[in-house]
Amino acid sequence: MTRWLPHPWFALWLLVAWLLLQQSLAAPTIVLGIVLALVLSWALGKLGLPRVRVRSLGTLLVLLARVFADIVRSNIAVAKIIVSPWPRYTSGFVTIPLEITSPYALALLACIITATPGTIWVSHDSRRQMLLIHVLDVIDEATWIAHIKQRYEQPLLRIFR
């Protein structure tokens, strides 16, 4: 199993993307899709990437729903800042000490922070485990640190333990 299918999530995603592109559920399409997914994910395994281990699928889904709600909220907040004729806000860099070390958890955190309007991941110092982000409207630095750590980092720690 681990030898022939080293990246099951990647294989599943390939199959789904293939079926979406082909727009059909005919048997030959599915068979070809499965073959492609197996071969390509096997080839990816040859690159020697670390395996993805999702420990808690439920937490992941809850996290994604939460991120979507945050995206909607911060879209409105950033739109307000841009549209208001005399905007009053302070932007700046915020340094956050991180606990997570798993590369996939870090990648997901990077996507979450950058996809949310108003915050962007700038750099990560893996030796000192320090994350540097830029925030469009820093009201209070400590609030932002607590926000990122509690809302995103804690679930990520549970998912990629």
Partner 1 sequence: MNVLATVPGWVALTIGALVLAGALLVCIGSVGLLRLDSFYRRVHAPTLGTTLGMYLVLVGTIVFFWAGEGRPALHVILIGVCVTVTTPISLMLLARAALERDRREGAAGIPAANPPETGADGGE
Helix H or strand E segment including 115: helix 103-115
- Judged by CB under 8 A, which of 12, 39, 72, 146 binds partner 1? 72
Tokens of 39: 């071969």
Q: Is 147 in the site for partner 1 (CB under 8 A)?
A: no
- What's the CA gap between 60 and 65, in Å, rounded? 9
Write the DSSP assignment of 5-46 as a string of letters.
Answer: -S-HHHHHHHHHHHHHHHT---HHHHHHHHHHHHHHHHHHHH
Q: How far is the CB of 27 from partner 1 (least distance, A)?
A: 19
9 binds partner 1 (CB under 8 A): no
Q: Is 128 among the residues that bind partner 1 (CB under 8 A)?
A: yes
- Closest approach, Cβ 11 to partner 1, in A, equals 16
Site residues (CB under 8 A) for partner 1?
Answer: 17, 20-21, 23, 71-72, 75, 78-79, 81-83, 90-95, 110-111, 113-123, 125, 128, 130, 132, 134, 136, 141
